[in-house]
Amino acid sequence: MDRPRAGRLTTELLAEGLVTRGAAPEDSRYALVGLTTQGRELVAAINENRRRAVAAALTGFAADESRTLATLLHRFVDAWPRKP
């Protein structure tokens, strides 16, 4: 994500009360962004919804099939090209 987009996104999240922003103590040119209580609650809800969706999708899988899928997904993520 480029710097202007990160700034716009941070401003939007600030307006929604999901994050806080302050200057980095070691270098005031940088901003520190953190989650508010509301932001943490939203992240927790999103993670729980995702967990439920994955669990529902895997209900027809045998345990060994789930393990194989997890192994393959880890390999896929590890092989994904990263920006320098």
The pLDDT of residue 28 = 86
Structural domain including 28 reads 3-35
Structural domain tally of the chain? 2
DSSP 17-34: TSEEEEEETTEEEEEEEE
Tokens of 63: 């345990």
> What are 32-83's pLDDT values in tens digits?
999 999 999 999 999 999 999 999 999 999 999 999 999 999 999 999 998 8
> Which residue in this structure is represented by tokens 């027809």?
60
pTM, two decimal places? 0.74
The whole-angstrom separation of Cα 75 and Cα 66 is: 14
Q: Are residues 30 and 43 in the same domain?
A: no
Q: Are residues 75 and 43 in the same domain?
A: yes
Tokens of 52: 């439920």
The whole-angstrom separation of Cα 25 and Cα 59 is: 48
